Amino acid sequence: MKINDAAKRSSINSKTIRYYEEVGLLPPTSRNANGYREYSEVDIERLIFIRRCRELQIPIKELMILVDVQIDQQSSCLEVDDIILKQLEKVRDRIKELQQLEKTLNKLAHSCQFDTVSQCQILQKLSEK
């Protein structure tokens, strides 16, 4: 199938598929007589796997490891577990950062009772050193 069909089936745009080929996440595809890329069902499965990993915000470097490990069905899952646990920790850290951001924004949102910019407590607090 051509790249547009692969894009539809995997829910990944064509440009991104080309990028994944370029960085080695997807092996180079065969080309038909007119030079168009030809994708197989195996390619679609890998693209779906890659998309799901990217939805989990797994970085490309770690995603490459997951793709490589997937090829050797007898390899240990320890590397996979480690990648997922590290990503979970990053998400938890980001949640903490967002919770702090929410507190700060909430405090700012309720700090101004004035109607004019000249008396705006939000702008004054954001300008403090």
Q: Please name the residues in contact with 6: beta carbons below 8 A apart, sequence gap of 6 or more.
A: 12, 14, 17, 37, 39, 43, 44, 47
Asked if the 1-74 domain carries CATH number 3.40.1110.10, the reply is no
Long-range contacts of 120-128 (CB under 8 A, 24+ apart): none
**pLDDT tens per residue, the chain (129 residues)?**
999 999 999 999 999 999 999 999 998 888 888 888 899 999 999 999 999 999 999 999 999 999 999 888 888 899 999 999 999 999 999 999 999 999 999 999 888 787 788 888 888 888 887
CB 6 within 8 A of CB 43: yes
**Of 83, 34, 37, which is closest to residue 61 (Cα–Cα)?**
83
Domain boundary assignment for the chain: 1-74, 76-129
Q: Please name the residues in contact with 89: beta carbons below 8 A apart, sequence gap of 6 or more.
A: none
The one-letter code for the residue type at 100 is Q
